[in-house]
């Protein structure tokens, strides 16, 4: 058993471990296990082997547990040792034994290590920018998932799928995920954001859309010595006559504490709010074809017009769209949109592993871009995943000297072709491929089966 486990660790370190050796070596995994006081038996699927197999599973296009176990069998067969059973139960039980805190800790550490690579030349006005947004993920329709993450109330019982709401903070410089929180579907984005402020570092700038632009949140962000750039909420009216004008379409205005306690705040938090705050309001018009919004009003706590010019802030908010692309990479490129696990605990673990794999791909893109002089954010995440999966067999078959040469070639091909920047692209939101002419499910499956039998 010890020999087989060591063989698997070596094989994973030679394939996945080499590209990610700076962020997730075996020593980091072992340290996290020790810090969390996680003890385990000496079995084939120990936490390290299970984690590597889990990562390779979400990075592959075939995300079945059978495919992950098949890789493990192939690694052992190549070494001429006894192979395990093709049954997936041992691997699935090993995944369920992985503590949620362990995966959360690894995700957080990899995100922080990726942020440490950012130099001053990649900062915005000398400061680090974080961008926040929320999204949803679907999961299998099981009793446990329905109880913890209920389906939308508009759907009939048995006709929908459990859906969880996630809030994520991404780094604008690296594109990596820094923080995550998970809640039920009807959770407002601002409630998720208030759970994520603790992950901001002093002097960070938080960038977000109008959902996050609230009086209490601007106060909370300033309280932790950070700043914010949000789009103005549609419920707050704009008055051109009020405020101190500091430039074209740029003024300082005073916001006053709400008269009633907003939802999501308790009385003590509401009473602790200051009576007023001064914010900066910037308004401009968009005339680029393809953009739905014509007029935008921004609210920011960056009051110094000399250090943070109007055009700089407008340009910064234009980069907010990157968070939508990052979420699309997670949900569409890596297929996190529809999860596979059947219990809430495993669903959360699966989300953390997806984000961990996403950060590792971002680290590979960062290494390729900085090594060969290509902007890392302009590289293709899908292309990076394809190249990595195709290079893994060659990394496994190569000697230690040749393996480093193959790794450098991997970085070179990742940086070979940058994705073009097309901000004025105008495409209609239509589908050419017609869907199948099957009706929607309006009754639970067991009722539909009974109707077929009685017909």
Enter the pTM of the model.
0.92
Indicate the residue among 98, 120, 148 that finishes a domain. Answer: 98
DSSP secondary structure string for all residues of 346-400: HHHHHHHHHHHHHHHHHHHHHHHHHHHT--GGGS-HHHHHHHHHHHHHHHHHS-H
pLDDT digits (tens, 9 = 90+) for 180-192: 999 999 999 999 9
Tell me what pLDDT residue 2 has: 66
Tell me what pLDDT residue 216 has: 94
Average pLDDT, the chain: 89
* Pair (26, 170) in one structural domain: no
Tell me what pLDDT residue 241 has: 64
Tell me what pLDDT residue 359 has: 94
Indicate the residue among 48, 73, 98 that finishes a domain. Answer: 98
Tell me what pLDDT residue 303 has: 94
Q: Please provide the size of the chain in residues.
A: 455
Work out the angle between the directed axes of helices 47-59 and 2-15 (0-180°, nearest 10). 40
Terminal Cα-to-Cα distance of the chain (whole angstroms)? 56
Tell me what pLDDT residue 289 has: 65
Residue 165 lies in a domain: yes
Work out the angle between the directed axes of helices 100-115 and 26-35 (0-180°, nearest 10). 130
157 touches 444 (CB < 8 A): yes
Tell me what pLDDT residue 67 has: 92
* Pair (15, 93) in one structural domain: yes
Residue 257 lies in a domain: yes
CATH code of the domain in which 174 resides: 3.90.350
CA 296-300-302 angle, to 5 degrees, is: 135
Indicate the residue among 299, 330, 361 that finishes a domain. Answer: 330
Tell me what pLDDT residue 240 has: 56
Residue 256 lies in a domain: yes
* Pair (38, 171) in one structural domain: no
Strands 205-208 vs 227-231: parallel, antiparallel or unpaired: parallel
Residues of the chain with pLDDT under 70: 1-2, 11, 13-22, 238-241, 288-293, 424
153 touches 166 (CB < 8 A): no
Residue 291 lies in a domain: yes
Residue 428 lies in a domain: no
In Å, how far are 102, 223, 224, 317, 342 from 197, measured between CA atoms? Answer: 21, 10, 8, 19, 30
Residue 227 lies in a domain: yes
- Total domains in the chain come to 2
Nearest Cα to Cα of residue 23 among 370, 409, 361, 411: 361
* Pair (305, 189) in one structural domain: yes
The domain containing residue 173 runs over which residues? Answer: 103-330
* Pair (221, 117) in one structural domain: yes
């Amino acid at each position: 058993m010890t020999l087989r486990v060591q063989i698997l660790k070596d094989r994973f370190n030679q394939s996945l471990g080499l590209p990610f050796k700076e962020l997730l070596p075996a020593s980091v995994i072992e340290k996290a296990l020790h810090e969390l006081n996680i003890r385990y038996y000496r079995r084939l699927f120990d936490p390290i082997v299970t984690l590597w197999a889990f990562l390779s599973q979400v990075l592959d296009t075939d995300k079945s547990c059978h495919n992950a176990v098949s890789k493990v069998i192939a690694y052992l067969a190549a070494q001429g040792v006894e192979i395990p059973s093709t049954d997936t139960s041992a691997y699935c039980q090993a995944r369920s034994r992985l503590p949620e805190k362990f995966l959360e800790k690894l995700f957080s550490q990899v995100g922080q290590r990726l942020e440490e690579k950012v130099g001053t030349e990649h900062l915005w006005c000398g400061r680090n920018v974080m961008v926040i947004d929320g999204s949803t993920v679907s999961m299998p329709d099981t009793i446990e998932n329905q109880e913890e993450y209920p389906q939308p109330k508009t759907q009939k019982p048995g006709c929908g799928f459990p859906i969880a709401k996630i809030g994520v903070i991404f780094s604008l410089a690296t594109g990596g995920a820094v923080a995550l929180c998970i809640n039920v579907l009807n959770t407002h984005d601002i409630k998720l954001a208030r759970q994520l402020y603790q992950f901001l570092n002093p002097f960070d700038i938080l960038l977000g859309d109008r959902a996050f632009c609230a009086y209490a949140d601007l106060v909370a962000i300033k309280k932790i010595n950070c700043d914010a750039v949000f789009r103005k909420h549609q419920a707050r009216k704009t008055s051109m006559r009020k405020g101190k004008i500091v430039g074209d379409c740029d003024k300082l205005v005073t916001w006053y504490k709400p008269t009633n306690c907003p939802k999501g705040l308790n009385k003590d938090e509401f009473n602790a709010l200051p009576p007023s705050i001064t914010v900066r309001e910037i308004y401009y018009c968009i005339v680029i074809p393809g953009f739905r919004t014509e007029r935008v009003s921004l609210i920011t706590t960056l009051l110094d017009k000399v250090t943070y010019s109007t055009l700089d802030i407008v340009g910064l908010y234009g980069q907010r769209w990157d968070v939508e692309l990052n979420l699309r990479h997670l949900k569409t490129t890596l297929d996190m949109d529809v999860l596979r696990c059947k219990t809430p605990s495993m669903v959360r673990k699966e989300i953390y592993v997806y984000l961990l794999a996403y950060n590792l791909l971002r680290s590979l893109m960062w290494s390729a871009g900085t090594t060969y002089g290509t902007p890392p954010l302009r590289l293709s995440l899908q292309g990076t995943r394809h190249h990595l999966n195709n290079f893994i067999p060659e990394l496994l078959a190569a000697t230690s000297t040749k393996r480093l040469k193959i790794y450098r070639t991997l970085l070179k091909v990742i940086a070979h072709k940058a994705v073009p920047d097309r901000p004025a692209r105008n495409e209609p939101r239509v589908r050419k491929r017609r869907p199948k002419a099957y009706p929607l499910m309006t009754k639970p499956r067991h009722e539909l089966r009974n109707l077929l039998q009685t017909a």
